[in-house]
Amino acid sequence: MPKKFFHLSLLLIVVFLLVSACQLSFKKNVSAPPANTPSGPSATSTSSQTTATNEMKKFANYEELQKFLADNNNPESATFGGVISVNALTAGSAVRQTAASPATAPTAGVSKDSSVSSESTGSNANLNALADYSSTNNQVVGVDEADIIKTDGQYIYALVRNDLFIIKAVPASEAQIISKISFASRPEDIFIDGTSLAVFGNDQEIYAQPLFATFRRQNQYTFFKVFDLSDPANPKQVRDLDFEGYYSDARLIGDYVYLITNTYLTYILKETPVPRVLENGQVLATTCAGDNRCFAPDVYYFDLPYDAFNYTNITAINIKDNAEAITGQAYLMNNSQTVYVSQNNIYLTYTQYISEYQVEQEVKRAAVFPLLAASEKDKITAIEAAPDYILNDNEKRYKVAQIIDYYLAALPLSQANALQTTINDKLKAELTVKAKDMEKTIIHKIAINGNKVEYQGRGEVSGRLLNQFSLDENGDYFRLATTRSRQWNVASGTTADSYSNVYVLDNNLKVIGALENLATSEQIYAARFLGDRVYLVTFKQTDPLYVISLSDPTKPAVLGAVKIPGFSNYLHPVDANGNKLISLGRATTEDAKGNVQIQGLKLSLFDFTDLSHPKELDSYLIGGQGSDSIAIYDHKAFLYSTSKNLLVIPALLSDNGQLSFSGALVFTLANDKFVLKGKIDHSAGGHFAASDYWQGFNYYDNTVKRSLYINDDLYTFSNKFLQINALADLAAIKSLTLTIGGDDYIITAPPSPAVDTEAGTSGSSTPELLIPSSSPAETEATTSPNP
């Protein structure tokens, strides 16, 4: 995001920047802290950390944590003894809906479809043994990603707004809804593990509960419910959990769900310093004495100033054994953005920016301090030595800056100008040294194994990530692809171009190999790590697709590149060795001013068999301006099967400025060419149902979100329908209506945006119906190090 440059002479702005300044640098943790224990932090140590270091530490007990929160409280962002408004928490969220609930399931209503027989369908534990069906398009083999629809080869489980439909899918001609679970809060994702169904999302219902009113810290909560599907027609809720914080992500490995939540923890006296967990509506104790049900996570931190107290929480939940207690850890950090999960590790990453203002203050302090009178030096020494409970680090910086600035203001003009010139020269030199670190990615590594969650270490690289496909674990190596954004340098008055980087880190997150300054003035639009290669798409006016060798982890090297018009957003391997790739993105043209005009969708097939001469084998343009596909932004909407020779892309197509089709496009590959096999229409010839805002997007109810196959049948899913077609010829087999009613209307698509290739800003917005709140496909941010 672009960041404002603040004039340093304004005292109020000085205060703001000092309070909100990001940390200058962190170093990798060189030794892993001890593993977490079921009883939580030890109660034996009461020592307080007074010397700042760059290593991740563990609080010895919650008393030490509470003291840390109090001593390091940021007065701009934290509240003492206050309450967060529930109205503020729910602003922009979906309106709470009330569902009738049986006594055994207080927060979810389970009902049968009225047209379904009440006979039990029996256990589905072994029904999928012979079924051939697609799974979620997961990034890592053996690591299941949470999604809105799952199948076990016999049944389909699909979320539509606040309802979860359980559909008997086989045989396709007899497909029917056999039960429906209605939730008061909208579920966001699900997992299926045999006869266990986990459903979770941000909890709106908790605000109405009397217990919530007793909490002085009234944060957002995430609900997590487990259902027994031994009889899919009669699912039974067997577990009910609530976690204080926002749902961020989740993975299923074996029988364990690793739930990731983020909690903004306002410091309030006499409130528990760790995020609450509720089970069956009761708060779990944070002390584990005797046999009581409890949850006492270890808390890790850096003893350095924080912009805000943000917890990233990882909780391991066994969804097959509901008697097993949950385990996990909490990490006090400024932010957590992109998550990558392998079978053995979770990597939490976020972008950290260095405050150019803070660098300037440090340079000024070093230059001016020797010139001060002894009394002024004593003041600074006393301020910097003050205990944290008297002055936190942000307050210390502000008070020291006041003394320095008063001294400079009192100097004769000639002396002030000469000293300022010295400061500027030193600042330029310091910013040159720190140039690569002004925008960097911080990586935290957490080992997972069943119910064990253990912090391992920390690393950092220059630049920012695009998404989870910019990350990859391969054996003992962790690989990343980043873009260093364009940056304005206040000292030199110049802008540095963006460029891309590839880094290889060892098992301890130490950089052992780097390829930097790739594709100057461009940014990464897509990335895919496959074996000992990484494929990168960068874009400004054309779409260079690079293939980079990682066979020598210490020396990443470009093997070849293909440059074509347009840009790709998602890359998918066609074969196991990664020699052929399918890309999905957009076609582009240039106007008379050199601005890039985004056109319709574009599929490309690339061949990297001959690395010295990579080539685009085929491309297929889809729709006109205003056409869109959820698969551009969400890889789970992309369905490809080599064995079925099947490619399915959800699409909204525009014809002369008017949306004309909403459904799925079905392709095969023949002689290295895309062949459109047919279209599966969910829009009844251009009519679009009610809009639905979900996970940063606006959809129509008949926007296809996912597709899957079971045996020889294709199932396409929107809020409105689950349509079933034969894979052989796409003949219609059956259509189930999931959302009844809603006014249908024809919608005119807005014009395609014009991208200014110099400024990197779009001239107009893309269609509201499917575009996330921010799209890297339209703009490249120029970052200023000032947060």
SS3 helix, strand, coil % of the chain, rounded to 5? 15, 40, 45
- Contact between 292 and 284 (Cβ < 8 Å): no
Which has more confidence, 208 or 715?
715
Dihedral class, residue 741 (left if φ above 0, else alpha if ψ from -120 to 50, else beta): left
Tens of pLDDT, residues 272-287: 999 999 999 999 999 8
Give Cβ neighbours of residue 118 (< 8 Å, ≥ 6 apart): 112, 233
Q: Which of 37-46, 168-177, 348-357 has the lowest mean pLDDT?
A: 37-46
Average pLDDT, the chain: 81
Which pLDDT band holds residue 685 (cuts at 50, 70, 90)?
A: low
Which has more confidence, 323 or 290?
323
Cα separation, 776 vs 652, whole angstroms: 20
- Residues 127-156: what's their mean pLDDT? 91
Q: In the numeric block, which tokens belong to residue 679? A: 């279209």
Cα separation, 649 vs 81, whole angstroms: 52
Neighbour count for residue 374 (Cβ, 10 Å): 7
CA angle (565 as vertex; 560, 567 as ends), nearest 5: 80
Q: From 724, 731, 729, 730, select the one nearest 710 (Cα to Cα).
A: 724
Cα separation, 59 vs 65, whole angstroms: 6
Q: Is the pLDDT of residue 472 over 50?
A: yes
Q: Is the pLDDT of residue 774 over 50?
A: no
Cα separation, 282 vs 274, whole angstroms: 16
pLDDT for 115 equals 37
* CB-count exposure of residue 42 (10 Å: 0-12, 13-18, 19+): middle
- Residues 147-166: what's their mean pLDDT? 97
pLDDT for 83 equals 41
Which pLDDT band holds residue 239 (cuts at 50, 70, 90)?
A: very high
Please give the biggest Cα pair distance in the chain: 94
Q: Is the pLDDT of residue 534 over 70?
A: yes
Q: From 629, 573, 574, select the one nearest 601 (Cα to Cα).
A: 629
- Residues 309-314: what's their mean pLDDT? 90
Tens of pLDDT, residues 390-410: 887 778 989 999 999 999 999
Pairing of strands 189-193, 196-203: antiparallel
Helix (H, G, I), strand (E, B) or coil at 169: coil
pLDDT for 89 equals 39
Which pLDDT band holds residue 244 (cuts at 50, 70, 90)?
A: very high
pLDDT for 696 equals 78
pLDDT for 101 equals 33
Cα separation, 666 vs 485, whole angstroms: 37
Cα separation, 397 vs 670, whole angstroms: 66
Tens of pLDDT, residues 598-645: 889 999 999 999 988 889 999 999 999 889 999 999 999 999 999 999
- Contact between 133 and 709 (Cβ < 8 Å): yes
pLDDT for 744 equals 44
Q: Is the pLDDT of residue 476 over 60?
A: yes
**Domains of the chain, residue spans:** 86-112+150-336
Distance between first and last Cα of the chain? 10
Q: From 350, 445, 448, select the one nearest 142 (Cα to Cα).
A: 448
Cα separation, 83 vs 21, whole angstroms: 25
Cα separation, 547 vs 549, whole angstroms: 7
Please give the full DSSP string across 561-593, using - where no structure is assigned.
Answer: EEEEESEEEEEEESSTTSSEEEEEEEEEEE-TT
Which pLDDT band holds residue 306 (cuts at 50, 70, 90)?
A: low
Pairing of strands 155-160, 149-151: antiparallel
pLDDT for 542 equals 61
- Contact between 296 and 66 (Cβ < 8 Å): no
pLDDT for 74 equals 55
User: What is the total residue count of the chain?
Assistant: 787
pLDDT for 695 equals 76
DSSP 554: T
Mean pLDDT comparison of 212-221, 738-747, 751-760, highest-scoring range: 212-221
Cα separation, 390 vs 317, whole angstroms: 41
Q: Is the pLDDT of residue 230 over 50?
A: yes
Alpha-helical (H) ranges within 79-201 are 86-90
Pairing of strands 486-489, 782-783: parallel
- Contact between 77 and 308 (Cβ < 8 Å): yes
Q: Is the pLDDT of residue 371 over 70?
A: yes
Cα separation, 590 vs 594, whole angstroms: 5
pLDDT for 700 equals 85
Give Cβ neighbours of residue 431 (< 8 Å, ≥ 6 apart): 356, 359, 438, 489, 491, 492
Query: What H or E segment, with its residue span, contains residue 238?
Result: strand 236-244
pLDDT for 495 equals 73
Q: Which of 203-212, 435-444, 753-762 has the lowest mean pLDDT?
A: 753-762
- Contact between 427 and 491 (Cβ < 8 Å): yes
pLDDT for 31 equals 33
Place of tokens 């982890």: 553
Between the CA of residue 511 and those of 448, 477, 480, what are the distances in Å?
A: 23, 10, 10
Helix (H, G, I), strand (E, B) or coil at 131: coil
- Residues 447-453: what's their mean pLDDT? 97
Q: Is the pLDDT of residue 125 over 80?
A: no
Q: Is the pLDDT of residue 237 over 60?
A: yes
